[in-house]
Structure 1
Protein backbone atom coordinates (compact mmCIF):
# COMPACT_ATOMS: atom_id res chain seq x y z
CA UNK A 1 0.00 0.00 0.00
CA UNK A 2 1.35 3.43 -0.92
CA UNK A 3 0.45 6.54 1.01
CA UNK A 4 -0.04 9.82 -0.77
CA UNK A 5 -0.06 12.31 2.12
CA UNK A 6 -0.60 15.34 -0.10
CA UNK A 7 -3.79 13.82 -1.46
CA UNK A 8 -5.03 12.44 1.85
CA UNK A 9 -5.69 8.84 0.81
CA UNK A 10 -3.96 5.49 0.40
CA UNK A 11 -3.72 3.49 -2.81
CA UNK A 12 -3.25 -0.27 -3.08
CA UNK A 13 -2.96 -2.57 -6.09
CA UNK A 14 -5.27 -5.57 -5.94
CA UNK A 15 -4.74 -9.01 -7.50
CA UNK A 16 -6.78 -8.04 -10.57
CA UNK A 17 -4.41 -5.10 -11.26
CA UNK A 18 -6.99 -2.46 -10.46
CA UNK A 19 -5.96 0.39 -8.26
CA UNK A 20 -8.12 0.79 -5.19
CA UNK A 21 -8.08 3.72 -2.88
CA UNK A 22 -8.88 3.84 0.76
CA UNK A 23 -9.93 7.23 2.01
CA UNK A 24 -9.59 7.33 5.79
CA UNK A 25 -12.09 10.16 6.26
CA UNK A 26 -14.51 9.38 3.42
CA UNK A 27 -16.90 6.41 3.40
CA UNK A 28 -16.00 3.73 0.81
CA UNK A 29 -19.11 4.34 -1.31
CA UNK A 30 -17.97 7.94 -1.93
CA UNK A 31 -14.33 7.10 -2.64
CA UNK A 32 -14.39 6.21 -6.35
CA UNK A 33 -11.61 6.11 -8.97
CA UNK A 34 -11.32 9.35 -10.95
CA UNK A 35 -11.84 7.60 -14.30
CA UNK A 36 -15.35 6.40 -13.48
CA UNK A 37 -17.47 7.46 -15.37
CA UNK A 38 -15.48 7.88 -18.56
CA UNK A 39 -15.23 11.43 -19.90
CA UNK A 40 -14.32 12.26 -23.50
CA UNK A 41 -12.76 15.67 -24.16
CA UNK A 42 -12.62 17.46 -27.51
CA UNK A 43 -8.88 16.87 -27.86
CA UNK A 44 -9.43 13.10 -27.45
CA UNK A 45 -12.25 12.79 -30.03
CA UNK A 46 -10.01 11.51 -32.84
CA UNK A 47 -8.57 8.74 -30.65
CA UNK A 48 -12.09 7.89 -29.42
CA UNK A 49 -13.28 7.52 -33.04
CA UNK A 50 -10.29 5.33 -33.95
CA UNK A 51 -11.34 2.94 -31.18
CA UNK A 52 -14.80 2.53 -32.71
CA UNK A 53 -16.73 5.29 -30.95
CA UNK A 54 -19.26 7.50 -32.74
CA UNK A 55 -20.38 11.10 -32.43
CA UNK A 56 -23.95 12.26 -31.98
CA UNK A 57 -25.27 15.81 -32.30
CA UNK A 58 -28.30 16.48 -30.09
CA UNK A 59 -30.50 19.57 -30.37
CA UNK A 60 -30.99 21.52 -27.14
CA UNK A 61 -33.18 24.55 -26.52
CA UNK A 62 -31.69 27.71 -25.06
CA UNK A 63 -33.24 31.15 -24.48
CA UNK A 64 -31.53 32.30 -27.72
CA UNK A 65 -32.83 29.40 -29.83
CA UNK A 66 -31.67 25.92 -30.75
CA UNK A 67 -28.10 24.70 -30.25
CA UNK A 68 -26.52 21.27 -30.71
CA UNK A 69 -24.64 19.38 -28.02
CA UNK A 70 -21.86 16.96 -28.98
CA UNK A 71 -22.19 13.46 -27.50
CA UNK A 72 -19.78 10.51 -27.59
CA UNK A 73 -21.41 7.10 -28.14
CA UNK A 74 -19.21 4.22 -27.05
CA UNK A 75 -19.18 0.83 -28.75
CA UNK A 76 -21.36 -0.60 -25.97
CA UNK A 77 -24.03 2.07 -26.65
CA UNK A 78 -23.32 4.21 -23.58
CA UNK A 79 -23.45 7.92 -24.41
CA UNK A 80 -22.04 10.93 -22.60
CA UNK A 81 -21.55 14.59 -23.52
CA UNK A 82 -18.14 15.53 -24.92
CA UNK A 83 -16.38 18.03 -22.67
CA UNK A 84 -14.58 21.01 -24.18
CA UNK A 85 -10.85 20.93 -23.48
CA UNK A 86 -10.84 24.72 -23.26
CA UNK A 87 -13.85 25.44 -21.05
CA UNK A 88 -14.42 22.20 -19.13
CA UNK A 89 -18.12 22.32 -20.07
CA UNK A 90 -20.17 20.29 -22.55
CA UNK A 91 -19.24 21.08 -26.17
CA UNK A 92 -22.12 23.02 -27.72
CA UNK A 93 -22.50 24.35 -31.27
CA UNK A 94 -24.50 27.57 -31.42
CA UNK A 95 -25.24 27.26 -35.13
CA UNK A 96 -25.55 24.54 -37.73
CA UNK A 97 -22.63 26.18 -39.58
CA UNK A 98 -20.39 25.63 -36.54
CA UNK A 99 -21.56 22.00 -36.30
CA UNK A 100 -20.82 21.35 -39.99
CA UNK A 101 -17.38 23.03 -39.75
CA UNK A 102 -16.45 20.87 -36.75
CA UNK A 103 -17.67 17.72 -38.48
CA UNK A 104 -15.71 18.49 -41.66
CA UNK A 105 -12.51 19.00 -39.61
CA UNK A 106 -12.98 15.63 -37.91
CA UNK A 107 -14.13 13.82 -41.08
CA UNK A 108 -12.39 15.62 -43.99
CA UNK A 109 -13.49 12.99 -46.54
CA UNK A 110 -17.17 13.17 -45.58
CA UNK A 111 -19.59 14.39 -48.24
CA UNK A 112 -21.88 15.91 -45.63
CA UNK A 113 -23.43 15.57 -42.22
CA UNK A 114 -26.99 15.16 -41.03
CA UNK A 115 -27.97 17.96 -38.65
CA UNK A 116 -30.82 16.72 -36.44
CA UNK A 117 -33.82 18.95 -35.95
CA UNK A 118 -35.77 19.07 -32.70
CA UNK A 119 -38.40 16.35 -32.41
CA UNK A 120 -41.85 17.33 -33.64
CA UNK A 121 -43.83 19.09 -30.97
CA UNK A 122 -40.72 20.81 -29.62
CA UNK A 123 -40.54 24.40 -30.64
CA UNK A 124 -39.18 27.55 -29.04
CA UNK A 125 -42.56 28.54 -27.62
CA UNK A 126 -43.21 25.27 -25.75
CA UNK A 127 -40.03 25.16 -23.62
Structure 2
Protein backbone atom coordinates (compact mmCIF):
# COMPACT_ATOMS: atom_id res chain seq x y z
CA UNK A 1 0.00 0.00 0.00
CA UNK A 2 1.31 3.48 -0.87
CA UNK A 3 2.40 5.83 1.86
CA UNK A 4 -0.37 8.39 2.47
CA UNK A 5 2.26 11.15 2.61
CA UNK A 6 3.65 10.34 -0.82
CA UNK A 7 2.80 12.85 -3.53
CA UNK A 8 2.68 12.38 -7.27
CA UNK A 9 5.20 14.32 -9.31
CA UNK A 10 3.11 14.12 -12.49
CA UNK A 11 -0.53 14.38 -13.44
CA UNK A 12 -2.11 12.04 -16.00
CA UNK A 13 -4.55 13.56 -18.48
CA UNK A 14 -7.49 11.26 -17.67
CA UNK A 15 -7.69 12.62 -14.08
CA UNK A 16 -7.61 16.33 -14.95
CA UNK A 17 -11.32 16.84 -14.21
CA UNK A 18 -10.93 15.22 -10.78
CA UNK A 19 -7.83 17.34 -10.13
CA UNK A 20 -9.76 20.54 -10.98
CA UNK A 21 -12.78 19.47 -8.90
CA UNK A 22 -10.42 19.00 -5.93
CA UNK A 23 -9.23 22.62 -6.26
CA UNK A 24 -6.36 22.25 -8.71
CA UNK A 25 -5.78 24.76 -11.49
CA UNK A 26 -4.25 24.53 -14.95
CA UNK A 27 -1.67 26.75 -16.54
CA UNK A 28 0.11 26.61 -19.85
CA UNK A 29 3.85 26.89 -20.36
CA UNK A 30 5.20 28.01 -23.73
CA UNK A 31 8.18 26.04 -25.01
CA UNK A 32 10.00 25.83 -28.32
CA UNK A 33 9.78 22.36 -29.88
CA UNK A 34 12.44 20.58 -31.94
CA UNK A 35 11.31 22.34 -35.13
CA UNK A 36 11.52 25.80 -33.55
CA UNK A 37 7.75 26.22 -33.19
CA UNK A 38 6.16 27.45 -29.95
CA UNK A 39 3.91 24.91 -28.25
CA UNK A 40 2.22 25.00 -24.84
CA UNK A 41 2.69 22.34 -22.16
CA UNK A 42 -0.16 21.76 -19.70
CA UNK A 43 0.81 22.16 -16.06
CA UNK A 44 -1.37 21.32 -13.05
CA UNK A 45 -1.04 23.67 -10.08
CA UNK A 46 -2.03 22.41 -6.64
CA UNK A 47 -3.60 24.64 -4.00
CA UNK A 48 -0.18 24.90 -2.28
CA UNK A 49 1.34 26.24 -5.52
CA UNK A 50 3.33 23.12 -6.41
CA UNK A 51 3.26 22.22 -10.09
CA UNK A 52 2.74 18.90 -11.87
CA UNK A 53 3.56 18.16 -15.51
CA UNK A 54 0.50 16.71 -17.28
CA UNK A 55 1.08 13.59 -19.40
CA UNK A 56 -1.19 11.85 -21.91
CA UNK A 57 -2.36 8.59 -20.35
CA UNK A 58 -2.13 6.44 -23.50
CA UNK A 59 1.26 7.55 -24.79
CA UNK A 60 3.09 8.84 -21.74
CA UNK A 61 4.02 11.97 -23.70
CA UNK A 62 3.71 15.46 -22.16
CA UNK A 63 0.33 17.02 -22.95
CA UNK A 64 0.97 19.95 -25.27
CA UNK A 65 -0.92 22.14 -27.70
CA UNK A 66 0.29 23.37 -31.06
CA UNK A 67 -1.71 26.62 -31.11
CA UNK A 68 -3.15 29.25 -28.80
CA UNK A 69 -6.60 28.39 -30.18
CA UNK A 70 -6.15 24.79 -29.01
CA UNK A 71 -5.16 26.03 -25.53
CA UNK A 72 -8.25 28.23 -25.42
CA UNK A 73 -10.58 25.42 -26.55
CA UNK A 74 -9.15 22.99 -23.98
CA UNK A 75 -9.37 25.54 -21.17
CA UNK A 76 -12.99 26.34 -22.03
CA UNK A 77 -13.77 22.61 -21.97
CA UNK A 78 -12.18 22.21 -18.54
CA UNK A 79 -13.61 25.48 -17.15
CA UNK A 80 -16.94 26.06 -18.96
CA UNK A 81 -17.83 29.06 -16.78
CA UNK A 82 -14.53 30.91 -17.17
CA UNK A 83 -14.48 34.34 -18.75
CA UNK A 84 -10.76 34.60 -19.48
CA UNK A 85 -7.61 32.54 -19.81
CA UNK A 86 -3.95 33.56 -19.77
CA UNK A 87 -1.94 32.14 -22.66
CA UNK A 88 1.69 33.12 -22.04
CA UNK A 89 4.05 33.93 -24.88
CA UNK A 90 7.82 33.75 -25.29
CA UNK A 91 9.84 36.87 -25.86
CA UNK A 92 11.65 36.94 -29.16
CA UNK A 93 15.15 38.18 -29.94
CA UNK A 94 13.64 40.56 -32.48
CA UNK A 95 12.14 42.62 -29.65
CA UNK A 96 15.55 42.88 -27.96
CA UNK A 97 17.22 43.93 -31.22
CA UNK A 98 14.70 46.72 -31.71
CA UNK A 99 15.10 47.98 -28.14
CA UNK A 100 18.90 48.05 -28.40
CA UNK A 101 19.07 49.58 -31.86
CA UNK A 102 20.79 52.97 -31.98
CA UNK A 103 19.35 53.63 -35.43
CA UNK A 104 15.94 54.41 -33.91
CA UNK A 105 16.91 57.57 -32.28
Structure 1 and Structure 2 fold alike (TM over 0.5): yes
Tell me which structure has the larger Cα radius of gyration. Answer: 1
TM range (shorter): 0.7 to 0.9
Q: Which runs of 5+ in 2 are unaligned?
A: 95-105
Size of the aligned set, in residue pairs, is 92
The root-mean-square deviation of aligned C-alpha atoms, in Å, is 2.4
Q: Following the alignment from structure 1 to structure 2, what is the Cα–Cα distance between the partners of residues 50 and 87?
A: 24
Q: Following the alignment from structure 1 to structure 2, what is the Cα–Cα distance between the partners of residues 18 and 91?
A: 27
- Structure 1 runs of 4+ aligned residues shifted over 2 Å read 35-39
2:11 to 24, 27, 40: 40
Structure with the greater relative contact order (CA < 8 A, sep ≥ 6): 1 or 2? Answer: 2
TM-score, normalised to structure 2, is: 0.74
Deviation at 1:18, TM superposition (A): 3.9
Whose helix fraction is larger, Structure 1's or Structure 2's?
2
2:58 to 86, 94, 117: 86
Describe how 1:41-120 pairs up with structure 2 within 5 A.
41-62=12-33, 63-118=35-90, 120=91
Residue 17 of structure 2 aligns to a residue whose secondary structure is helix
Q: Which runs of 5+ in 1 are unaligned?
A: 1-12, 20-34
TM-score, normalised to structure 1, is: 0.62
